[in-house]
Amino acid sequence: MSADLAADVRRLVLGAAATSDLERAAQADFATFFPDEHGPVSRDDGPDHATASALVFDPTLTRTLLVFHAKGQFWVQPGGHLESGDASIADAALRELREETGVVVSGLPESLVYDLDHHGLSSAFGRCSSHLDIGVAVVVPEGAALIVSDESEDVRWWPIDALPDQVPPGFDGRVRRLRDRLLV
């Protein structure tokens, strides 16, 4: 796995816009896994490792695109493990978005809107104990054709104010925080 990816994770951890105690705690937690530019970016680096995801919003910032994760049996943003061909966390997030939903985004602004989310996993996820997920905010035009990948059972737009009941703990707050950062 590329040392550049580990350096990108470290850069994002250090530059995270932590504006609350919850976000400062997440930043400190990530820093323990990435004290330098050689942190765990691959699932081969151990049971706790980085992942990238795309928190997708429509242009009105009132809806988000979610996939129903087959292993987890919950609605969540598209995302997953980093791969050797990924040049950055943003590239990995956009690749996962394309693979899991069919939505293609050509690039992101240089100044990313993102967050850090370290979450534990059930035994359904095999040797992965936890993911140190870096979620990148993405705005996509309406009308993009959607696909359902082998990892998901469904892909659907949801109103941010009416997310489904089957989401991971704290997910609604994560979506709202990123949406609010986009509004600024």
pLDDT of residue 1 exceeding 60, the answer is no
What length is written for the chain?
184
CATH of the domain at 138: 3.90.79.10
Q: Which of 10-14, 40-44, 158-162 has the lowest mean pLDDT?
A: 40-44
Q: In the prediction, which pLDDT does 123 show?
A: 62
Q: Could you please report the per-residue DSSP string of 152-184?
A: EEEEEEEEGGG--S-S-TTHHHHHHHHHHHHH-
Instruction: Kindly indicate the confidence band of residue 52, based on its pLDDT and cuts at 50, 70 and 90.
Output: very high
CA 67 to chain centre: 12
pTM: 0.90
Q: Which residues contact 176 (CB under 8 A, 6 or more apart)?
A: 160
- Look up the domain containing 26 and give its range: 3-183
91: number of Cβ within 10 Å: 19
CA distance 178 to 184: 10
* Total domain count, the chain: 1
Tens digit of each residue's pLDDT (9 = 90 or more) over 83-95? 989 999 999 999 9
